[in-house]
Structure 1
Amino acid sequence: MTRSIPVFLLSGIALATPVAAQEVPAAPSDLSAASAASAQSTEGLSEAADAGADVVVTANRAATPIDRVGQAVTVLDTAEITRRQSVLVADLLRQTPGVSITRNGGPGTLAGVNIRGADADQTVALIDGIKINDPSSPGGGFDFGTLLVGNIARIEVLRGAQSVLWGSQAIGGVVNLITRQPTDDLRVNARAEGGWHDTGQGYANVSGKMGPVLASFGGGYYRTDGISAYDGGAERDGYRNYGANGSLGIALTPTLSVDVRGFYSNGRTHIDGFPAPNYTFADTPEFADTEQWTGYAGANLALFDGRLRNRIGYAHTQTNRENYDPTDGTTVETFRGRGRNDRVEYQGIVDLGRIAQGTFGAEREVSRSTTSSYGFGSPRGRARLFSVYGQLAVTPIAGLTATGGVRHDDHNVFGGETTFSGSGVYSPNDGATTIRASYSEGFKTPTLYQLQSEYGNLALNPERSKGWDAGITQRALDGALEASATWFHRNSRDLITFISCDTPLTGICVDRPFGTYDNVARARAQGLEFALALKPVEAFTVSASYTYLETKNRSAGDPNQGNRLARRPDHSVTVNADYRWTFGLETGATLTSVGNSFNDAGNLRRLQGYVLADLRAALPITDNLSVYGRVENVFNERYQTVADYGQPGRAAYAGVRIRY
């Protein structure tokens, strides 16, 4: 593919073939009013939280009706998250089309999210629109294993490369987690539950408005004795976490407002390791502490009767990680990592007449990291990235929206990178049939560890990808049936891989006796995503999704060339069914089937597929009080997503919810 493809999409999108659809398209004159708020403003987050699945904020960095979005996106709104009762965000993501999960044990252990076969480190993770990937980790990714549903009210999963608007790492896609946002009226949400292996949790959130101030504050606690991370072990590896979230929106004038937000998480995970004298995987008393901070402050200013909306903000994220080993009676720190990211950003949204809208902005990001093992530290890492981007969305007639964008990033080590994207969505019959298509480019900057550690290589280039998807959605039976199918394809190059160095040390291995990193790998991922939503009667809903994934190592000269990428299941199916009885009882079930994969790049060790079945029920006692319960992994399936690491068996939980 060439750089001309985005232009082709913009000029001929009505003939392209397609992705998912939702609502009846609005008239072009409604464009500015329907997508007024930034994805990082309190207004935009609150608008999305109250809009259910009809509005998304991640696709265009602004609150946008989903029928004007050309990319593939899945929305889990508050009602759906509540209905499924999941504790771990990773368990919800596993049920999403195009997404697979790898996890090193039970709750709290390391978990990666792969979107459309991309590496877990190529997924952008956001909390309330703020990037939270960890600069101190070798791959720069985000650990979803410590992330609990807690007071998260909404999850948007945007599939496909999204680097034009979200920058580095958005090769596979973006996961945006939105916490409970301020409300105009006073609302209180709280829940408590307990169950299997001394598991317990309690969360609460209160939101409301006082004069010009909108506020939302919450917090919670979770703990479990867990399971053995080592699949053959007998010692349980527990997890505990406490956290808090807060959001303030202050209207200083009718056109000027200020936002302040924060998110905090503190977790302790017991892990297994490789103890002496055999140094093979086994039970150990080791544990890991993880502390995460996210803070944001910004101002929003509307000019020219609201046709130009400006936002300027500052975001700070920090991840602190320590591992400890108390084996010999004295607790020894075996690892310490500090990752920090500071970002200053400007974003503008401008209405260009009745049919067009532009989004543009600039960002300056500084990343820092330090790591040490047993007190011996790697060199401190620091990098600066300056970015500018612009996107134009045009709705010339009702039912047709075409979008194109470009971004340029300047990195103080490797230089510049320019990416393009284009997408379109068209419905010829008022939303009964919707056709979508997108072309997108992605990139991922080398991490601080890959550039500046003792194994670093300052000559590294960014990882790059080009991809497209096309799909169609058909609605029938007055909206009671909706089916969609999407084909996607992505080629990735310059992927960064660790290189072992043998004597004599020549070329890239000079002065690197223990190895280094290099841009030597290529990969391809393609497949099909199918989704079905059925509501035969008001009280009964069924949703199903299927993903076929084909991945291939395309690295020339690599002994693993032609092999499947590690830990990428070839098939996955999820079915959710829920029924509401006349007396208020809600019952439901989830069935998840994940196909075979390989644990290693050489495709020598197979990970067997597995089937999980979950049951759930909820009963309202009063208008404000309900009780609920669930049984996870009903048939006690034994399975692994990473070789030798165990996964939870059958477990039951019960709880109570309060809402005012």
Structure 2
Amino acid sequence: MKYLFYIGSFLSCFAPAVAQEQVEDDGLGEIVGVFQRLPDTAADDSITVLATGQRGPIDRTGQSISIVTADELAQVQGPDITRVLERLPGVTSARSGPLGSQTSLFVRGANSEQLLVLIDGVRMADQAAPSGGFDLGTLLPAGIGKIELLRGSNSVVWGSDAMGGVLAVESDTRAGPRVNLEYGAHGTLVASAGGRVGDGGSWLALNGGYTRSDGISAKALGSEADPFRQWQGSASGRLALGGDLALVASTRYADSTIDFDGYPAPAYVFADTPEYQTTRQASGRAGLDYAGSTLRLAGGIAVSDTRRAYFDPTYGAAPNFTTAGRSLRADLTGQADLSDGLALDFGADSEWTRYSTTFDAQQNARLTSGHALLSWNRDALSLSGGVRLDDHDRFGSHWTFGANGAVRLGGGWRLRAAWGQGFKAPTLSQLYGYGANPLLRPEESESIDAGIERGDRNAPLHLALTLFRRDSRDLIGYTFPNGYFNTARARAEGIELEGGAHVSDRFTVRAAYSYVEATNRVTGTDLARRPRHAVSLSADWRAPLANLALGIDLRMVSDSFDDPANFQRIDGHALMALRASLPLGDHFELYGRVENVTDARYETAAGYGTYGRSAYAGVRLTW
């Protein structure tokens, strides 16, 4: 089979590192609680919040979790966050045109709307979108300090939307001012700045950025470029109130404008048009944290607001369609150390959502939830199991269960396994909008995965093998003229291989391979835009002379289909990028990259344009 080449490419990267491996313990030392709150100074590249909602070591969970650091974001370079996320196993993406266009992220074959996205702990789903998802096209790397991705269903901790996984983004709170300026192909300008004042118990971090690009045509082979612009800023802080109590708060605002192509009269076929869309996202959270010796509590109120407007200058300056979605959430979570390695994580929350559009009057819904997760941790064994109850004012109550475990074998190796259930509540648009069905039930999923892993992806040597399966049922689909119904069933199963090695002090390699078979169990067809094979390879070398850093990235995906019926094929492709950076003193760095080095012609969504060979250069200043 030709795709055996993918696996061979993966394995060949790590033969030298494994042969020279010196067995060492990559653990974090003795930890009394299962996932006790750790100080902010703990090694953040091996600490996760996604397992239980509390900060804890990644090797104490049986779930599949990957962490991307701020250093890796800077190393990869550029405003396209999918170039970083596709380094992770089980992840593919599709974008409808240039930078800033509608972007979907598929985790182990799950729909993009079945991925819960959190930014600084705030749920970012667009309540006015038909499927209620978050558009990854509006998320740029500027100002991001850390990304975590959990693959698999985990609604016990995270509730609705966590069917395929959870993506958690944290703002950059590193000390010291930072400035970045980049310019390159298609008139692309990226400028960002950030920094933090204060230390220890009280601090304030600010980040801001501006990105613009003349773009390319959203329509493949189109003649009219579709530009993109975004202003964004964020702030987060902590104020120690004395004792073990602190006030915490964060906020984010992003204002984006993207041109797109449409279906103009009289032919009504996809063509260049002057249409454009504006998106304004505002979110924030404020609350109190209590960190006692055996009890930790966090309570607060969070809000997320997304407003979109669609314009067609052909018919005047006023928008021809607008949407507004908002969620308000009050939550209380905690963790109690019980005895002898036993801990209880718990939480309760209420979420009020609302939406309106040009054609739909404002509608509201409320979802109230409570969960408990019992964990037991000993020297070589960690076990967790939990339950959640959600009560929706439209469809009623829904129970969710989950469990996971990890066995540490020594030398940094561990066996892990996880079983979890997920669900997604019907969106307000599906319940009240065009084609609405007030009798809709929540979508449900059940996933299981098991694997063996050494270290984590930020350790000196990381190797991982994972087998997984996820079954989804009562998926909501739309048929004209009948509207929305719970009709579909889907299955995604496959294998993930991942590795990384510091082969020497100056040479590092990473690789990830995924086989994901995602199918519609009613029709037997592949789910749209889900390539079965995906490989990511990268290598970085720092020269002895002047600390010049050179890097290469290779991304390969197999064929997929653009439509549910599998009539329209999307050819597989391979993309290569070359990177370089040169420090000039302690505070100044030059960098640059060339994307799509071979100038490959490809698509991730049929009929939509993609970038050819493109070069960019920039400078970074740090103090």
> Shorter-normalised TM-score: what interval?
over 0.9
Aligned residues of 1:28 and 1:355 also touching (Cα < 8 A): no
CA distance in 1: counterparts of 2:376 and 2:411, whole angstroms: 18
CA distance in 2: counterparts of 1:140 and 1:441, whole angstroms: 19
Pair 1:358–1:28, CA change in 2 (3 A): farther
1:131 to 120, 123, 129: 123
- Cα deviation for residue 429 of structure 1 reads 2.0
CA distance in 2: counterparts of 1:618 and 1:454, whole angstroms: 51
2:19 is aligned to none
1:18 is aligned to none
Alignment of 1:344-383 (within 5 A): 344-372=330-358, 377-383=359-365
| CA deviation vs aligned residue, 1:255-304 (integer Å, no higher than 9, x gap) | 1110111011000001100111111100001110000001110011244x
CA distance in 1: counterparts of 2:143 and 2:460, whole angstroms: 31
- Cα deviation for residue 176 of structure 1 reads 0.7
| CA deviation vs aligned residue, 1:48-87 (integer Å, no higher than 9, x gap) | xx62421111222111111102100111111111111131
1:540 is aligned to 507
CA distance in 1: counterparts of 2:434 and 2:507, whole angstroms: 58
Pair 1:29–1:64, CA change in 2 (3 A): closer
Unaligned runs of at least 5 residues, structure 2: 1-23
Pair 1:23–1:562, CA change in 2 (3 A): farther
- Secondary structure in 1 matching 2:214: strand
CA distance in 1: counterparts of 2:210 and 2:317, whole angstroms: 25
CA distance in 1: counterparts of 2:421 and 2:455, whole angstroms: 30
1:503 is aligned to none
CA distance in 1: counterparts of 2:76 and 2:137, whole angstroms: 18
- Secondary structure in 2 matching 1:450: helix
1:174 is aligned to 166
Q: Identity percentage over the alignment?
A: 38
2:294 is aligned to 307
2:45 to 42, 53, 70: 53
- Cα deviation for residue 28 of structure 1 reads 6.2
| TM norm structure 2 | 0.93
- Cα deviation for residue 638 of structure 1 reads 1.2
CA distance in 2: counterparts of 1:554 and 1:212, whole angstroms: 52
Does residue 294 (structure 1) correspond to residue 280 (structure 2)? The answer is no
Alignment of 1:192-271 (within 5 A): 192-209=181-198, 213-271=202-260
- Cα deviation for residue 641 of structure 1 reads 1.1
CA distance in 2: counterparts of 1:108 and 1:481, whole angstroms: 35
1:162 is aligned to 154
1:565 is aligned to 527
CA distance in 2: counterparts of 1:27 and 1:302, whole angstroms: 21
Alignment of 1:22-101 (within 5 A): 24-25=26-27, 29-31=31-33, 35-36=36-37, 46=40, 51-101=43-93
- Secondary structure in 2 matching 1:67: helix
Does residue 641 (structure 1) correspond to residue 601 (structure 2)? The answer is no
- Secondary structure in 2 matching 1:81: helix
1:632 is aligned to 595
Aligned residues of 1:127 and 1:176 also touching (Cα < 8 A): yes
Given residue 237 of structure 1, which amino acid in structure 2 is its aligned partner?
A: D
Given residue 92 of structure 1, which amino acid in structure 2 is its aligned partner?
A: V
Aligned residues: 598
Does residue 438 (structure 1) correspond to residue 442 (structure 2)? The answer is no
CA distance in 1: counterparts of 2:555 and 2:429, whole angstroms: 36
CA distance in 1: counterparts of 2:80 and 2:193, whole angstroms: 17
Aligned residues of 2:127 and 2:428 also touching (Cα < 8 A): yes
2:305 is aligned to 318
Does residue 554 (structure 1) correspond to residue 521 (structure 2)? The answer is yes
Given residue 359 of structure 1, which amino acid in structure 2 is its aligned partner?
A: D
- Secondary structure in 2 matching 1:419: strand
- Secondary structure in 1 matching 2:75: helix
Single out whichever of 202-211 and 383-392 deviates more from structure 2.
202-211
1:579 is aligned to 541
CA distance in 2: counterparts of 1:490 and 1:59, whole angstroms: 18
Given residue 153 of structure 1, which amino acid in structure 2 is its aligned partner?
A: G
CA distance in 2: counterparts of 1:106 and 1:589, whole angstroms: 23
CA distance in 2: counterparts of 1:530 and 1:139, whole angstroms: 31
Pair 1:324–1:475, CA change in 2 (3 A): closer
CA distance in 2: counterparts of 1:137 and 1:317, whole angstroms: 13
CA distance in 1: counterparts of 2:165 and 2:392, whole angstroms: 21
- Cα deviation for residue 30 of structure 1 reads 2.8
- Cα deviation for residue 480 of structure 1 reads 5.4
CA distance in 2: counterparts of 1:421 and 1:25, whole angstroms: 25
1:334 is aligned to 320
CA distance in 2: counterparts of 1:317 and 1:271, whole angstroms: 25
Given residue 311 of structure 1, which amino acid in structure 2 is its aligned partner?
A: A
Pair 1:53–1:475, CA change in 2 (3 A): closer
Alignment RMSD (CA, Å): 1.8
Given residue 67 of structure 1, which amino acid in structure 2 is its aligned partner?
A: D
- Cα deviation for residue 357 of structure 1 reads 1.7
2:274 to 285, 297, 319: 285
Alignment of 1:103-114 (within 5 A): 103-114=95-106
Aligned residues of 2:477 and 2:484 also touching (Cα < 8 A): yes
- Secondary structure in 1 matching 2:314: coil
Given residue 390 of structure 1, which amino acid in structure 2 is its aligned partner?
A: A
Does residue 404 (structure 1) correspond to residue 385 (structure 2)? The answer is yes
CA distance in 2: counterparts of 1:575 and 1:642, whole angstroms: 23
Aligned residues of 2:70 and 2:172 also touching (Cα < 8 A): no
1:529 is aligned to 496
Does residue 425 (structure 1) correspond to residue 417 (structure 2)? The answer is no
| TM norm structure 1 | 0.88
CA distance in 2: counterparts of 1:23 and 1:451, whole angstroms: 52
Pair 1:191–1:29, CA change in 2 (3 A): closer
1:450 to 408, 426, 430: 430
Aligned residues of 2:278 and 2:309 also touching (Cα < 8 A): yes
- Cα deviation for residue 481 of structure 1 reads 4.0
Given residue 328 of structure 2, which amino acid in structure 1 is its aligned partner?
A: D
CA distance in 1: counterparts of 2:291 and 2:66, whole angstroms: 30
- Cα deviation for residue 649 of structure 1 reads 1.2
- Secondary structure in 1 matching 2:406: strand
- Secondary structure in 1 matching 2:526: coil
Given residue 310 of structure 2, which amino acid in structure 1 is its aligned partner?
A: N
Aligned residues of 2:285 and 2:300 also touching (Cα < 8 A): yes
